[in-house]
Amino acid sequence: MTKIPACSECNIEDSIFCTLTPEQTEFISENKGSNFYKKGQAVFYEGNQSHGLFCIFKGKVKLSKLGENGKEQVIRFAKTGNILGYRSLFSNEPYQATATVLEDSYICHLSKEKYTSLMRDNPKLSWKTMQLLAKDLKSAEQHLINIAQKTVKERIAEALLLLQSTFGYTEDGESLSVTLTRSEIADIAGTTTETTIRTLAILGKENAIKLEGKRIIIPDLEALIKIAGLYD
């Protein structure tokens, strides 16, 4: 089992905690808790009371919520270095989503009181937190627009691009480094599993992707970006 190091030894780039002073980093190390989660295990559930913030030391996490029809809606993914549970922390509401581990993961926990005291002492941390929230809001808005304006094919292409930009490729430089079921991909794109299976097959025929069991290969990223209707 991996030993979780002190926060000062955590070399995660772009972490929200990169703005902290050595003393503040030491403060987190002394006050955090750490846990190992098996694949499929929940870190927290939608509706549970929030007590703090989670930071992924190593792993991959899916955040999802149940829609009115009982169907799961994937809100976002988180990877090594990302934080979870911050929205409920600032809105003083229960968790708005369930966090489920996609692969065996090591996750640290910091209480609400400790995090807010750090924000009081470090305006850069508040700033980073506001940036995270704004980014989440932008993604939620984009998802809403996509559902209203984009075709299922465009949405599924965009879901694959989201997975690629979040988790990247495996060592072969082409295969998505996260493995999801067709049903989970459907939950990201806001469609049914059957439609997702059909659409992935169409994308395969157009050589935008290759399917090998659960593994998805993206040989032509540009083609997929074009299909998704993203031109940046």
Partner 1 sequence: MQLAMSLNSFHQITEKQFIHSNLDVIKIKKNTVLFSENNKLDYIFFLSNGELIIKINKHKLWRVNDKEFIGITSYFTDETSYTYTVEASKNSTIVKIEVDDFKEAINNSIELSNFIMDSLCKRIKLTLQD
Residues lying near partner 1 in the complex (CB under 8 A): 65, 73, 75, 87-88, 90-91, 93, 96, 119-120, 123, 126-127, 129-131, 133-138, 140-141, 144-145, 148-149
Helix (H, G, I), strand (E, B) or coil at 229: coil
Shortest spacing between CB 62 and partner 1, in angstroms: 15
Shortest spacing between CB 183 and partner 1, in angstroms: 20
Q: What are phi and psi of 129, to 5 degrees?
A: -65, -40
Nearer to partner 1, 57 or 77 (CB): 77
Shortest spacing between CB 141 and partner 1, in angstroms: 6
Nearer to partner 1, 65 or 182 (CB): 65
CA–CA separation, 16 and 89 (whole Å)? 15
Measuring CA to CA, how many Å separate 49 from each of 87, 92, 169, 227? Answer: 12, 9, 35, 41
CA–CA separation, 195 and 172 (whole Å)? 29
Nearer to partner 1, 140 or 230 (CB): 140
Sign of CA dihedral 81, 172, 174, 205: negative
Q: Which of 17, 13, 50, 57 has the alpha carbon at shortest distance from 33?
A: 57
Nearer to partner 1, 119 or 217 (CB): 119
Shortest spacing between CB 60 and partner 1, in angstroms: 21
